[in-house]
Amino acid sequence: MNARPVILAEGANHDLPSRIDRAAALWLRRYPVQLSLDRPVVSFTFDDVPDSAIINGARILEQQGCRGTFYLAGGLAGGTFGPYNFFVPSDVPYLLDRGHEVGCHTFSHPVVQTLDARRLAEEFDRNRQWLTAVDPRAEPVSFAYPYGAVGFSQKALTARRFANSRGVRHGLNTGKADRAQLLAVQLYDCRLDEKGLDEVIGEAVRSNAWLVFYTHDVQEGPSEHGCSPRLLSQAVERVLAAGCTVAPMREAMAIAGGTEKPH
């Protein structure tokens, strides 16, 4: 596969205690759910949600009759960062009206691993309050870790708050998947070419897996964390041609035999 496996995105602490803490969260604090799939399931997810993820990403999915999960951090609304112009509040009802899922990405986009329980709970509460103030229908049950970084203690709180949480560790979800740190695959032009795309979809079909793609911007000349409209279109077309079910994270968890609410 022409896609470099990634454990953590930029922004995580790389000192030895932090790395040990993340490893403990990954391997020792697991929340297994036995996946039971009739056929492979694919979810397309968008982190931070630059406006191009809505303008182009949502449109491309909708053209194929599909919907995605958009992880919003309320503190980013209306802002800019580097090449990104982020979503605006009116995008929340826009996405919900069109059948997409709105997930949680904390409020201020911190490195979750660095937060104590009180501060992490405040991030979750503040983002939920922001989302529901914009649209009462926005009750997120899906979460994505900013930068992919979570420690042993933070993962326990996250598992109590959300039915599913997605990380950035590369892989497919099969067998007993960890609902509090689901594996994912970068849908980035700089990391995944057509051959790599076909390979990861083929492996998902062979292993009857839940494949979760993630990206950020969707535009021509994408950032290093984004994809072009062409790559996203190819991915959607090829997973459908392969007989996969495409569903947002919340629905995919239900299809896979999990629950919409945390235990």
What is the SS3 string spanning the chain? CCCCCCCCCCCCCCCHHHHHHHHHHHHCCCCEEECCCCCCEEEEEEECCEHHHHHHHHHHHHHCCCCCEEEECHHHCCCEECCEEECCCCHHHHHHHCCCEEEECCCCCCCHHHCCHHHHHHHHHHHHHHHHHHCCCCCCCEEECHHHCCCHHHHHHHHHHCCEEEEEEECCECCEEECCCEEEEECCCCCCCHHHHHHHHHHHHHHCCEEEEEECCECCCCCCCCECHHHHHHHHHHHHHCCCEECCHHHHHHHCCCCCCCC
Q: What is the mean pLDDT of each run of 10 residues along the chain (263 residues)?
A: 38 86 96 95 98 98 98 97 91 98 98 97 98 97 97 98 97 97 98 96 98 98 96 98 98 82 47
pLDDT in tens, 229-254: 999 999 999 999 999 999 999 999 99
Give the pLDDT score at 1. Answer: 29
Domains and CATH numbers, the chain: 16-255 (3.20.20.370)
Q: Evaluate if pTM is beyond 0.75.
A: yes
Give the pLDDT score at 258. Answer: 67
Give the pLDDT score at 173. Answer: 98
